Structure 1
């Protein structure tokens, strides 16, 4: 799936914990979205679009989704009390952030999160982008759609409002788990 979407600049070496991916369920009973599971299995641990770390389940490693989700969710909750201006101004922003399931962070401090309250066809969840200063924007209905949106000349501004050019549809796999 991802070989058709991204250029792999460094081969993936570390993949998501398959047992965790197979058995984990969100509070609404849904598993991880298929595009995320495929990402964990096909690409794994590395940098997407030369910018984003998509956190995958890797046990207690500091970059594991299990560890990073708790940290990112704590930050999201912190920004709700009181809600930042960018959260208040976004349509449904307070509810979106309160129910967000963050799964990625950029090197610029931006975040990707799912809204699991609104499952899409085929088990996907809407993906949102925020940096908490310029608002919250829909980024796609799956991780694959997100990649296409931020790397497309005609679509990147819908997500990356202040970027001057689209991101490169690439993936750089990390060679080892560094602690």
Structure 2
């Protein structure tokens, strides 16, 4: 895995049992590279703007909660055939039901796994979208590839607004707060 410069400490806030035992509808678990990433880095912000959602129990940024919230914004529209965004260039309408979000940038981009196509080590292709003009673009096949793409020049081709690659940094969240500032 690409080495990231970290700030803060990974205090193992993630639900590692859920990480290891959860299964998608096709029987595959979380990707091996994602599990390795979560165990090494924990919960936090990648490259100064990407929130990677690991299992965090009932915390608001837990993968189980955020993925459902993100999907709730468009799944009914897909079922009713009223898609308000372009699924292409690398996805199609039929693939959208198999997309599982696992990260979001602070400027409105999302990372999804296409879980209906599980390949080696439970890895899924990773797609990026903004639900506006980008469509779903395949960006990588593993978290390791994703880190290489995002911190290298290839990201400039995928996201033309970028003027430089993302920095190879990860900011660990050390405490989980819930309203009214109760530490979990």
Q: TM-score over 0.5 for the alignment?
A: yes
Matches within 5 A, 1:12-161: 12-78=10-76, 80=78, 81-87=81-87, 89-133=88-132, 134-153=134-153, 155-161=154-160
Asked if the contact 1:15/1:43 (under 8 Å) is kept, the reply is no
Query: Matches of 1:137 and 1:66 in 2, distance apart?
Result: 23
CA contact (8 A) 1:138 1:159 kept: no
Greater shift in the superposed pair: 70-79 or 117-126: 70-79
Contact 1:102 1:113 in 2 (8 A): yes
After TM superposition, the structure 1 stretch with the greater mean CA deviation from structure 2, 159-168 or 57-66, is: 159-168
* SS of aligned partner of 1:147: helix
Q: What per-residue deviation string (whole Å, max 9, x for no partner) do you get for residues 64-98 of structure 1?
A: 111111101112325635112422x4353312322
TM-score norm. by structure 2 comes to 0.87
The one-character-per-residue Cα deviations of 1:95-126 (angstroms, maximum 9, x if unpaired) are 23222111111101111000012222222100
Q: Matched residue pairs, number?
A: 175
* Distance across 2 between alignment mates of 1:34 and 1:159: 24
CA contact (8 A) 2:45 2:172 kept: yes
- C-alpha distance in structure 2 between counterparts of 1:52 and 1:156, whole Å: 14
Moved over 6 A (4+): none
Q: Which has the higher strand share?
A: 2
Alpha-carbon RMSD: 1.7
Cα distance in 2 for residues equivalent to 1:54 and 1:170? 13
CA contact (8 A) 1:124 1:142 kept: yes
Partner of 1:10: 8
Structure 1 gaps, min length 5: none
| Greater helix fraction, Structure 1 or Structure 2 | 1
TM-score by length of 1: 0.90
Query: For the Cα contact (< 8 Å) 1:9–1:172, is it kept in 2?
Result: yes
Consecutive unaligned residues of structure 2, counting only runs of 5 or more, are: 179-184
